[in-house]
A = this chain, B = another copy of it.
């Protein structure tokens, strides 16, 4: 006994309003419907979740429709939990189709994308091509440590689709919940299944092409970048990375880890390690390394400002402000001792009015963290690492001055 068809947009609005009065109801911070890849050997293992659409603090009406459609199909959403995941049943789809009736026809292109999802699911179920274990619906009510693979993927989508800010999402324990699998193109394969079938696959000449073995998929398996964004090698950007429009990732030594990326157009020829963020107009030179929270930054994530240049094969272990330059081959870590003469100290001070350091001859890298307009060089006559006021433009924050 499905929910009756809703025959007008007014009736739809009333339905949603009423659906939200269910005891304990609350709007999700995120929700979406995902196709599921299950273990070839162990069907209970979720290897990957591919979301047709994700909603982050938006489309609450659709969320209410989905919750009501589940309830009528016998599944009560637990609104008190931090997340709720359940299978997409035929009854759920039929209910949602009925409720969405006034929008079905106009659901196309950029309009009513949640309705489009239900419409396509309805077609799939009618064509008998799929069964009820192929899809799940996921609600996040709080940003707690994720409890399921599906919730982790929803959060990775949030990051990679730039619906949430980098470093703003709780991914505690995510590594432990994801399976390490062999990826053959977009398809995850259990390693144990490969082992069990190795002899026959190899003798048959059917052993699959494996592009990686990892817990995470690649960004481009799930996310369509902006028109002016370029990723020359899919292996270089992990799902969960965030690339602002106009970013280019070259194929040499570059890499962008999950929960790391760019907040403006950036040329990336080096490594942006986990939790590192690079600002608009900056250039991460060939082989340049920005250290991550797992490698030498004492857990403090590194931000690089705007219009900053990291030279080829340089290493940056401290945050940098706007308009900085690290020369090719130079390494600046928190403990690096950096010489600055009084003239340059004064210029740097001028570009960084809030900086309170007294003038000395030598500064530790950590003391210069986050400053604008610094040029780090190695004096090729003496080997000393020195800092100067850079020639790069620094846009002073008008609110502060």
Chain A contact residues, CB within 8 Å of chain B: 35, 50-53, 109, 113, 116-117, 120-121, 124, 135, 180, 182, 185-186, 191-192, 194-196, 198-200, 202-205, 207-215, 220-222, 224-225, 227-236, 238, 250-255, 269, 271, 273, 283, 285-287, 289, 291, 295-296, 311-315, 317, 327-331, 333, 336-339, 362, 378-385
Contact = CB atoms under 8 A, between A and B. Distances in A.
Contact of A198 (B224, B313, B383, B384): B224
Contacts of A120: 199-200, 203-204
A224 B253 contact: no
B233 A235 contact: yes
Contacts of A53: 198-199
A202 B384 contact: no
A196 to B, nearest CB: 7
Contacts of A186: 207-209
B331 A329 contact: yes
A252 B271 contact: yes
B383 A202 contact: no
A273 B328 CA distance: 15
Nearest to A206: B186
A362 B381 contact: yes
A159 to B, nearest CB: 18
A224 B191 contact: yes
A226 to B, nearest CB: 8
Q: What 6 A-B pairs are tightest by C-beta distance, nearest first?
A: A383-B383, A252-B255, A329-B331, A253-B253, A233-B235, A185-B209
A14 B337 CA distance: 76
10 contacts: A121-B203, A211-B233, A213-B230, A232-B235, A285-B295, A289-B312, A329-B331, A330-B331, A336-B380, A339-B381
